[in-house]
Amino acid sequence: MLTPVNLAAALLALLPYLAAAFFPRRFCAWARVLPQWARLGGPALLCVPYALVAWPAGVFRWSWLALYAALPVAIALLLDHTRRADADERGDWRDFLVLAVLGLAVDLRWFEGAWPAHTAVFNKVLLLDAGVWGFLALRQLEDVGFDLRLRLRDATIGLRELALYVPIALALGLSLGFLHLHGHWPGVTAIAGAWLFTFFFIAVPEELFFRGWLQNLLERRMGRTPALLLTSVLFGLAHFNKRATHFNWRYVLLAALAGFFYGRAWRRERRVGASAVTHASVDALWSLWLR
């Protein structure tokens, strides 16, 4: 996996994600001064990391290349039109169509067959890039809170929601046989590594999708509490096929409950970083001591 070509592909794939996360104002301002053909056609370049990874591995297919070029452009076209059609930002059917396609593609692993073994994470990052460009640069959706220049307040809010969730999750998870306590101490380096990997590659993408985009848009239609509850349920259902070959209702239940506290963390100050702190901490605790 750690070939020079794969590393170059990873840098290209991560560039839009990290640029939007750490330079949000500059990223959006730069996108707005591009000519229209570049704003709408530029996302086709997201097919390049696929070609770089798949070609040397012998799994390259022109059909997959076309998909990774065309789907981001289609998302850009839809969301650019949505910005003009939904001036009051109450949420438009095109917003939810894009979210449905992105969410189902990741959750049901529609495109992972395009990738060599152990590189399917590229699929998730490229779809995230397409959403970031569409919703932030073109749709210009407000109050997303995608800014990973973390503040002390983000950690305070995130850890408070963690403290509220953990006792409930422990009692419920242990009683259902879903959680299992382990006393092994993996070491500070392993703990920090697990948390950082989870934060950047699991928690932030999922929090941006479910809270920054989905809950944000649903609030405009339904109000704060219904949006929080519905997003939590959908987040739970997104875990129905995790670590099981059947409908894993225990995972769904614990994930939906977790989603409630993640949603509370995000909406406190509308910061993806805050809910991602809660999310990454929960996942790290589970993977290291409770799985």
Residue 98 falls inside a structural domain: yes
pLDDT digits (tens, 9 = 90+) for 141-172: 999 999 999 999 999 999 999 999 999 999 99
Task: Report how far residue 120's alpha carbon sits from residue 69's, in angstroms, rounded to the nearest whole number.
Answer: 17
For residue 2, pLDDT beyond 80? no
- From 92, 113, 138, the end of a domain falls on 138
If DSSP codes are grouped into helix, strand and coil, which group holds residue 90? coil
**According to the model, what pLDDT value does residue 54 have?**
96
Number of C-beta neighbours around residue 192 at 10 A:
11
Pair 30, 133 in one domain = yes
pLDDT digits (tens, 9 = 90+) for 255-273: 999 999 999 999 999 999 9
Q: Mean pLDDT check: name the lowest of 125-129, 146-150, 224-228, 287-291.
A: 287-291
Pair 285, 156 in one domain = yes
Which residue range is the domain that position 186 belongs to? 152-290
DSSP state letters, 191-220:
HHHHHHHHIIIIIHHHHIIIIIIIIHHHHH
Supply the angle between the helices 121-132 and 4-22 in degrees, to the nearest 10. Answer: 30
Residue 205 falls inside a structural domain: yes
Task: Report how far residue 142's alpha carbon sits from residue 278's, in angstroms, rounded to the nearest whole number.
Answer: 23
**According to the model, what pLDDT value does residue 123 have?**
96
For residue 186, pLDDT beyond 90? no
Q: Residue 80 — pLDDT band, cuts 50, 70, 90?
A: very high
Task: Report how far residue 84's alpha carbon sits from residue 203's, in angstroms, rounded to the nearest whole number.
Answer: 31
Q: Based on the structure, what is the number of domains in the chain?
A: 2
**According to the model, what pLDDT value does residue 73 have?**
98
Share of the chain above pLDDT 70, in %: 99
Task: Report how far residue 102's alpha carbon sits from residue 78's, in angstroms, rounded to the nearest whole number.
Answer: 13
**According to the model, what pLDDT value does residue 217 have?**
97
Cα 235 from chain centre: 11
Mean pLDDT computed over every residue of the chain:
94
Residue 245 falls inside a structural domain: yes
For residue 242, pLDDT beyond 90? no
Residue 200 falls inside a structural domain: yes
Contact 154, 271 (CB under 8 A): yes
**According to the model, what pLDDT value does residue 14 have?**
96
Pair 164, 125 in one domain = no
Number of C-beta neighbours around residue 30 at 10 A:
12
pLDDT digits (tens, 9 = 90+) for 32-66: 899 999 999 999 999 999 999 999 999 999 999 99
pLDDT digits (tens, 9 = 90+) for 129-149: 999 999 999 999 999 999 999
**According to the model, what pLDDT value does residue 183 have?**
78
| Unique residue bearing structure tokens 């696929």 | 50
**According to the model, what pLDDT value does residue 241 have?**
84
Q: Residue 184 — pLDDT band, cuts 50, 70, 90?
A: confident
Closest CA relative to residue 235, chosen from 224, 172, 212, 113:
212
| Unique residue bearing structure tokens 């039109």 | 81
Pair 114, 172 in one domain = no
Pair 26, 125 in one domain = yes
Residue 145 falls inside a structural domain: no
pLDDT digits (tens, 9 = 90+) for 11-33: 999 999 999 999 999 999 999 89
Number of C-beta neighbours around residue 22 at 10 A:
12
Share of the chain above pLDDT 90, in %: 89
| Unique residue bearing structure tokens 């970031």 | 132
Instruction: Return the beta strands (E) in the chain as ranges.
Output: none
Pair 59, 165 in one domain = no
Structure token digits, residue 163:
């403290």
Pair 52, 128 in one domain = yes
Task: Report how far residue 144's alpha carbon sits from residue 136's, in angstroms, rounded to the nearest whole number.
Answer: 8
**According to the model, what pLDDT value does residue 104 have?**
96
From residue 250, alpha-carbon distances to 67, 141, 278 in Å are 35, 34, 20
Report pTM: 0.95
Residue 147 falls inside a structural domain: no
- From 116, 138, 160, the end of a domain falls on 138
Q: Residue 243 — pLDDT band, cuts 50, 70, 90?
A: low
Pair 133, 161 in one domain = no
Residue 116 falls inside a structural domain: yes
**According to the model, what pLDDT value does residue 74 have?**
98
- From 113, 138, 163, the end of a domain falls on 138
Our CA dihedral for 209, 225, 260, 231, rounded to 10 degrees, sits at: -30
Question: Dihedrals φ, ψ of 86, to 5°?
Answer: -125, 65
